Amino acid sequence: MTWLEDYQQRISYQNTKDFLQDYKDSNTFLITDKNLLNFYHKEITKFNYYSILPGEESKTLEQINIILERLLQLKYSRDVTIIAFGGGIVCDMAGFISAIFKRGCKLALIPTSLIAMVDASIGGKNGVNSQDYKNQFGTIKQADKINIDSTLLASLPQDEVANGMAEVIKHGLLASESYYKKAISFSKTELSDNNKYAFEDLIKESIAIKLSFVAGDEDDKGQRRYLNFGHTLGHAIEKIYQIPHGRAVLWGMLKACQLSYKLGFLPKDLFVKIESDLLKLNTFDTSIINWEKISQALLSDKKREGQGITFILLQDFAKPVIVNLDLDTIKNLLREND
């Protein structure tokens, strides 16, 4: 069995209650957030659990340490299974904890947001923030089980579904023009009972695309780095301006496409088409940009190499390229578009 085949067998598409039922009598500790605790109180309180406050402010080493100490107080050994029931922040924190508690324990993920289903729960990367910058500390720890329950998305506000579509669109740009067109179409569609199964198919295809980049490169040294498309600038504005990850990445992809065109990688006709699509979806107000703050964030980016900043740019659909750029080039080329 290949790595990819093994990984795909870890992913299920069950109802959440049925998935949790399999863990009811086992050695488990569940991590969630307070919004989900209120909404799924009956299911969550069947387990030993810890709930965080929603938001990036909880994604810190201090909060991780509180949960680790709680595990020790409850006398858990390394055969515990950490269950994450939540969005990307909960999945990241649970993955980090499972990687370091007793030098590693089992991990089961139940992502509850679209962005967590197609991105945070897949591929094993997890991390927490430093005081000033995003995901500065982390590990790579593959989950033992991942359950994708698209019915959970029905409880999300539409803007949170839109937030997740940024990663779906990214997968299309990196891998498939036809999938990109499908993602753009879905980004204009509200999730409902009538189309939830179509969303599930979209999620499955997005997961398959992400895994195709992760396979053979779990450590993020080669082709997996293409998945950082849109994240270099996206992470910077996400932290500085406290905006949702998907919105930040969408703007980051827009800027990466502008760089791709201005540096001669992306043909004009294709650039104009992609820019038009992304501008219609972008909700980040560029008038508030402070490029000095962004520059400082870029210099602290974990993907920085030497004196330059590593960018993923596009030559065409499914043709990403890695380029090392200096800060002045980035600022000078992008400022004219803001």
β-pair type (81-86, 106-111):
parallel
Kindly report the pTM of this predicted structure: 0.93
Tell me what percent of the residues of the chain surpass a pLDDT of 90.
Answer: 72
DSSP three-state, residue 74: coil
For residue 324, the surrounding DSSP H or E stretch is strand 319-325
CB 311 within 8 A of CB 226: no
**For residue 82, what are the β-bridge partners?**
29, 107
pLDDT > 80? residue 12: yes
Residue 307 pLDDT > 70: no
Q: Tell me how crowded residue 270 is: count the other CB atoms within 10 A of its CB.
A: 17
Instruction: Report the alpha-carbon distance of residue 221 to residue 297 in Å, rounded.
Output: 22
Percent of all residues in the chain with a pLDDT value above 70, rounded to a whole number: 96
DSSP class of residue 118? I
Name every residue whose Cβ is closer than 8 Å to that of residue 157 and which is 6 or more positions away in sequence. Answer: none
Report residue 337's pLDDT band, with 50, 70 and 90 as the boundaries.
low
For 195, the 3-state DSSP assignment is coil
Per-residue CA distances from 205 to 103, 176, 199 (Å): 33, 11, 10
Residues 205, 179: Cα–Cα separation, whole Å: 8
pLDDT digits (tens, 9 = 90+) for 248-257: 999 999 999 9
CA–CA separation, 88 and 233 (whole Å): 19
Question: What is the predicted pLDDT for the residue at 303?
Answer: 60
Q: Could you tell me the two tokens for 198?
A: 């179509």
Which tens digits make up the pLDDT trace of 134-188? 888 999 999 999 999 998 988 788 888 889 999 999 999 999 999 999 999 988 7
Token code pair at residue 288: 């508030």
Specify the residue for token string 């922040």: 89
Q: For the residues 257-266, what does the mean pLDDT come to?
A: 96
